[in-house]
Amino acid sequence: MDKARRGQYQESIDDFNLAIRSNPNYSAAFKFRGIAYSKLRDKQKAFYDFKQAAGLYLRANDVESYHNTIQLLLNLKISESDRARKFSYRRLQELLLIGNWQEADKETLSIMLQIVGREKQAFLSGQDIKNFPSTHLHIIDQLWMVYSNGHFGFRVKKQIWQSIGGTSKSDSNVWRAFGDRVGWRVKYDSSFVKTWIAYSDFNFTLDAPAGHLPTALPGRRYSFLSVIASMILLFLFTLFVITILGFSSSYFISGFVGLFLVTFNTIYNGSQQYTKEWWQQLFSRAQICGI
């Protein structure tokens, strides 16, 4: 460290290399080697060292050192906007630390929305994920990985996706197989087939399948009121058509039911296709970012 203070950054890096080879869990060596790399403007190596140091501090529950290291990591300018670096992960860390997985899941989405400036829209588009800052994707994934002991996180999901042959061009069959593996598709007692679960049915415990969380819930969500409004419009449209054509009430009922089923199926399938493509985009982004 004395060499680094004197501006002898390369010499100090050599010393830290020896220290890390002797003790691969030497968190301070990773941190200060990262600082030396940042002084030499080698930001990729500095990023790696800060990430390693942060993970080691988390495992040791050294909260203060962890936050200091995260701040160093966020201060790196790796082709990312100033807006994308000014966020706190303290609340997410606290929620994960006490095992409040559901609130941590909501906080994860909230942070991601803030980073891309999507708070008002309340959803993340595929383009948002394609350009999502790698620094923050790493931090979010690492927090989930560390506090769940490798059970949850984007990396776990990506590994499962790849293990079943998932690619950026995979079809719905692979997507359904992925849903089965992470517990997003289940067979209810009253059902003969597996269905995609609602958010209220997610398992927010460590008993959930690997990769079950975080959900990050992409896409446009249809609210209860919007669905009711759609059904009212569909009802009025069917009534208008039947009245104009002069058909009996039995035709009206069968026509309304038929249109309802077609509309519901279109919305449902469209939503699943969008969700599949969104996660494919995230897995591709994670691969590019080295997650």
Q: What is the mean pLDDT of residues 268-291?
A: 75
Same domain, yes or no: 14 and 139: no
Same domain, yes or no: 38 and 122: no
Same domain, yes or no: 3 and 136: no
Q: What is the mean pLDDT of residues 171-176?
A: 88
Q: Which of 26, 75, 14 is nearest to 53 (CA)?
A: 26
> What CATH number does the domain containing 30 carry?
1.25.40.10
pLDDT tier at 269, thresholds 50, 70, 90? very low
Same domain, yes or no: 66 and 87: no
Tell me the pLDDT of the chain averaged across its residues: 79
Same domain, yes or no: 233 and 152: yes
- Of the three residues 23, 53, 78, the one that is the final residue of a domain is 78
Which of 44-53, 150-159, 163-172, 239-248 tops mean pLDDT? Answer: 150-159
Same domain, yes or no: 225 and 181: yes
Number of domains in the chain: 2
Same domain, yes or no: 204 and 190: yes
pLDDT of 140 over the 80 cut: yes
- Of the three residues 78, 99, 133, the one that is the final residue of a domain is 78
**Structure-model confidence comparison of residues 110 and 256, the more confident one:** 110
- Of the three residues 52, 78, 104, the one that is the final residue of a domain is 78
Domain that holds residue 44: 1-78
Q: What is the mean pLDDT of residues 166-177?
A: 87
Q: What is the mean pLDDT of residues 98-125?
A: 89
Q: What is the mean pLDDT of residues 253-274?
A: 51
Same domain, yes or no: 144 and 286: yes
Same domain, yes or no: 115 and 186: yes
Same domain, yes or no: 123 and 61: no
Same domain, yes or no: 8 and 27: yes
Same domain, yes or no: 120 and 204: yes
pLDDT in tens, 222-262: 444 445 555 566 666 666 666 666 655 555 555 555 555 44
